[in-house]
Amino acid sequence: MTDFADMLQGYRRFRNTGWSEQRERWDELNEGQSPGVMVIACSDSRVDPAQIFDTSPGEIFVVRNVAALVPPFETTPGLHGVSAALEFAVQVLGVGEIVVMGHGKCGGCKAALSHDLKDAPPGEGGFVHNWISLLDGAREVVIDRHGDDRSREVERAMEQEGVKVSLANLRSFPCVRTKEKAGTLKLVGAFFAISDGQLHLLDEETGVFSPA
Distance between CA atoms of residues 119 and 146, nearest Å: 24
Strand partners, 21: none
Catalytic pick among 12, 42, 48, 129: 42
103 in active site: yes
* Residue 200 falls in the annotated catalytic set: no
Q: Is 106 a catalytic residue?
A: yes
Residue 116 appears among annotated catalytic residues = no
Among the listed residues 106, 109, 139, 156, the single catalytic one is 106
Give the active site residue among 12, 15, 46, 152.
Answer: 46
Which candidate, 143, 77, 74, 82, places its Cα nearest to that of 113?
Answer: 143
Which residue of the set 44, 139, 156, 200 is catalytic? Answer: 44
Q: Who's near 129: CB < 8 A, 6+ residues apart?
A: 111, 115, 117, 118, 120
Q: Is residue 109 annotated as a catalytic residue, yes or no?
A: no
Catalytic residues: 42, 44, 46, 103, 106
